Amino acid sequence: MSSKSLPYSRKDVDYDNAKFRQRSFFKVITQSVLTNNIRHDCLSCSTGKFLLLLMILGLACLTLTRPSPSQPVNHGLEKDTRNKEDSKVILSGGSRLGKFFRKPPRLPPQLPPDEKRGIDGLGGLGATIVDALDTSLIMGIDEISSEAGTWIETHLSKGMNSTSRGPKSNVYLETAKDLGDRLLSAFTSSPTPIPFSDVVLHDSSAHPAPDGLSSTSEVSTLQLEFNYLSTVSGDPKYSVAAMKVLEHMKTLQKVEGLVPIYISPQSGEFSGENIRLGSRGDSYYEVSGTFLFEINPKWIGFVGELPYGSKGSFHPKMDHLVCFLPGTLALGATKGITKEKAMIDNLLNFEDLENLKLAEDLAKTCFEMYSVTSTGLAPEIAYFHTEEYSEANLDGGNKNSNYVNDIIIKSADRHNLLRPETVESLFVLYRITEDPKYREWGWQIFEAFEKFTKVDSGGYSSLDDVTTLPPHRRDKMETFFLGETLKYLYLLFGDSSTIPLDKFVFNTEAHPIPIEGATK
C-alpha cells in the first residue's frame, strides 16, 4: 500500500521519485526558513519580520563576499579524523547564494566503487528482515531464523499493547494483527470498497495518492494475506474488508478480463484506459488474455500493452514484472500437480494444454531477456521488434544471442533491480513439467547474479545498465531479492516435496500460504 522506491519507467519518475527532485529557490526559502519555529515566534510581529529579513540579507552578503578557496570539495566518505579546520564544508563555484540555500537532493551516498553499504529507505522498519524470514525458515537456516525472530520480537512488538510474550509464533501473530489493523485504515477511510493507496503506519492514517487514484494491483493484492490472517486470528474483519474489493471489482466493466491499471477510491470506478500486466496491474491477474506476435524470421511470444485501451494501438513493451505470468498460467492448467500425473488422471482439457504450452513459450521469452544482454541479466523493460515497430542500435550487447536484433532495450530501461518474476516461473514450470532446462536456465541466471551483483562486503546490488561490462552498481538491494528471488532459486533446485504446489499457494510476494485442508 505504498509507492515504490524506484520508478518502473521514466513516466513514473515525477510521482514515485519526487523526493529526489531539486527544489526551487522559492521553495527552499519557504520550507527551510519559514516553516521552523521562527515563523511562529518572530513573524507574529513586524519587528520579528524585520530581523528575519536582516538575517537573510546578512547571510547572503557573507556568502557572496567570502573568497573562493582553491581546494575542491571532497565528495567522498572519509573517516572523521580531520581537524576542525579541514572538516569545514566549503562551497565554491557557481551561484553562492543559490548553493547556500539549496539543499542537495536526497540521493544515495556516493561511495568508492569497491565499497557498498546499502540503503535503509524505511526508517529502520526492518523490511528486509521480515520479508526474508520465511526464506531462512524454508532453507532451514535456524541461526538466522532465530536472530530475525528475536529482532522482530524486540523491535516490531514494542508499543503494540500486546500482553502475550510467549512462543515466537504467538509474537508473529500479534505483530501481524497489529499491522493488519493499521492497514485496515486504507479500507475503512475510503468512501467506497476500494482502499486508499497510502497508509501511515505510525498513526494508522490512510490517504489517497497525490492524483487521488489507487493502483489496480495494490487494491487487489491483500486478499490472500487478509483471509489467512482472519483464519489464524479468528477475527473475520480482515477478510471481510479485503473481499469487498474483489466483490466490487466483479461488477465493473472489463475487456475480455483485462482492466485499466488505475482505480478511484472516490468513485469506485476504473480510471483511464491504460491496460498492462506489468507495474500497477500485475497483482490483479491470475490468468488473463495475452497478445502474441510473430517475429520475423524467428518466433518469440511476448505480452504487450494497450496504453490507450482495447481499441487503441498495441505497444510491444513488456516489463520484467510480466514474467510472473508463465508460472500463473501453468498453475492454472494443472492446479499444481505434475503434467504427467494430470495427463494420467485425465485432468487436462484442451484449454489447459494450450495454457501450459503458452506458459512454456513465455518462459522462454523471459529467459531470452536475460541471455540477450552482456551481463546475462534482464533489463527492467524490453521492447520487441515487430513489423510495425523497430529501433536500431538498442540491443542487449550479447551478439551471440539468437534474438539480439529482436529484443530492444532502451537506455532508460536497462537497469536490473534483482527481480524474482522469471525465476518464479522457472520454479513453477520445473515442478509441473519436470523439464531440466528450467533448472539450467535458472542456474545461468543465478551465476550472473553472483558474478555481477554480489558485493564482497555483504549483500547484492541493483545494476544501472545490464548491457555494459562491468555494470555499475547502485548500492541498493530491494527486500524482494532475499524474500523472493533467492527463495524461488532455492526451491527450483531443491526437492519437490519442499512447499508442494498442490498444498501451498504463494502470494504476490512469494510467501507460501497453506491451502486449507490440503496440508493435513
Binding-site residues from annotation for Ca(2+): 508
> Looking at 225, 380, 424, 478, which residue is catalytic?
380
User: For residue 430, what are the contacts with CB-CB under 8 A and spacing of at least 6?
Assistant: 436, 438, 439, 442, 492
The candidate with the shortest Cα–Cα distance to 410, out of 422, 392, 388, 398, is: 392
3-state secondary structure of 257: coil
Which residues are known binding-site members? 508
Alpha-carbon distance 344 to 326, whole Å?
23
Q: Please give the grid coordinates belonging to residue 176.
A: 501481524
- How many CB atoms are located within 10 Å of the residue 199 CB? 22
Beta strands in 315-395 (DSSP E): 317-319, 381-384
Let me know: does 119 contact 461? Beta carbons within 8 Å. Answer: no
Q: Please give the grid coordinates belonging to residue 220.
A: 487487489
β-bridge mates for residue 416, sequence order: 463
Alpha-carbon distance 365 to 319, whole Å?
12
In which element (H, E) is residue 269 found? none
Q: Please give the grid coordinates belonging to residue 107.
A: 540521493
Alpha-carbon distance 58 to 289, whole Å?
66
3-state secondary structure of 199: strand
Catalytic (active site) residue 305: no
Let me know: does 90 contact 56? Beta carbons within 8 Å. Answer: no
3-state secondary structure of 358: helix
What does 85-131 look like in DSSP terms, one character per residue? TTTS----SS-HHHHHHPPPP-PPP---TT------TTTT--HHHHH
Alpha-carbon distance 151 to 484, whole Å?
21
Cα distances (Å, whole numbers) of residue 338 to 266, 343, 431: 45, 9, 7
- How many CB atoms are located within 10 Å of the residue 241 CB? 21
Alpha-carbon distance 219 to 249, whole Å?
10
Let me know: does 265 contact 196? Beta carbons within 8 Å. Answer: yes
Positions marked active-site: 380
